[in-house]
Amino acid sequence: MKQFRCMNTQELVSVILPTYNRAHILSRAIESVLRQSYQNIELIIIDDCSNDNTNEIVNSYLNKDKRLFYIRNERNAGAAYSRNVGIEYSRGIFLMFLDSDCEYLPEKIEKAIALMYALEPSPDVIYSNMWREQKDAETVLSSNIKDKLLTPEDIFNCKYHFLNPTAWFCRSGIIKKLGGFDKNIYSYDDIDLLIRVILSGGRIYFFNRPLSIKHSAAGISDISFRTVVSKENFLRKHFSEIKKYKRFISKLYYNLGKDLFRLGDFKKGKKYFWRAFISNPIKIEYLFKCICLSLKNQDRANKIE
């Protein structure tokens, strides 16, 4: 491993920030980019057709910093679509993503680009640890694993939490070559992209140092039948790769069951809970959930997380 330092301070880093109706927290995310110790950046904000005052917030920064670019979608198309718009527009040799309920720590880009050049062979994606704010405002680390080059087993055995692209630092070439995020996978689109990176021969390195913060955003997450269809699309797309990873696929089945239960489709939800138990029989709570639904004991079943 080379000395841990930045080899070329002139290389442009593109930060893509999709947002939808989060004007009240958007400034925090924007300012975390602008205060980075590494300054050769462009910040591309993709407004997914917000109906709040997002445009006013962004315009106040556009007038002060020429590194910002603002694109507004003609319709609400989702985070994957919005990120892809940013990817297409980007000019940097490195890509980063930032959700509007997150923020970067001041040295995130500097540390990531230095590590990218220090590692041999150089990775295509660096996934750094991150702080996750809980509902009680306490912050915890997303993962507690040593630095290492990741394998498919690391992802599918659920040893790492990849659910937020804010933690990524990517070479733009491989992301663009793979076509960016799959807009047909509304949920799990981030895991889908990392799977495709590894299956294409790309290298993903986990860096156990928190360089960003995921803030608690109560009320933002929602469940819809679109979410269910998206997870089913992910399952069909990667079934041949994930079927041997019992813990991963059983958790996916379980999440589908929970989503359907909350949407009122108890019959289909029960089928997914049963598949979750069959795939990973040591998870007795999956069977318990299925039995509760069969007995129409919905209140008791709903207590299982």
From residue 209, give the alpha-carbon distance in Å to each of 39, 111, 202, 278.
21, 10, 22, 37
Do residues 131 and 140 touch, judged by C-beta distance below 8 A? Answer: yes
Q: Which pLDDT score is estimated for 186?
A: 79
Q: What is the chain's pLDDT, residue by residue, as a tens digit (305 residues)?
A: 333 444 455 799 999 999 999 999 999 999 999 999 999 999 999 999 999 999 999 999 998 999 999 999 999 999 999 999 999 999 999 999 999 999 999 999 999 999 999 999 999 999 999 988 876 555 566 666 788 888 888 877 655 555 689 999 999 999 999 999 998 887 889 989 998 999 999 999 999 999 999 987 654 456 788 889 989 999 999 998 888 888 889 889 988 988 998 888 888 988 998 898 888 877 677 667 667 766 655 554 555 55
Q: Tokens for 64, please give them.
A: 């002060």
Closest CA to 16 of 86, 76, 65, 81: 86
From residue 246, give the alpha-carbon distance in Å to each of 138, 187, 237, 270, 274.
32, 20, 17, 19, 14
DSSP result, 224-256: -HHHHHHHHHHHHHHHHHHTT-HHHHHHHHHHH
First to last CA, the chain: 42
Q: Which pLDDT score is estimated for 264?
A: 86
Q: Which pLDDT score is estimated for 182?
A: 95
Q: Count the Cβ atoms, other than its own, within 10 Å of residue 91.
A: 10
Q: Count the Cβ atoms, other than its own, within 10 Å of residue 304.
A: 15
pTM of the model: 0.86
What backbone phi and psi angles, to 5 degrees, belong to 152?
A: -55, -35
List CB contacts of 262: < 8 A, sequence separation 6 or more: 223
Closest CA to 171 of 267, 96, 252: 96
Q: Which pLDDT score is estimated for 158?
A: 58
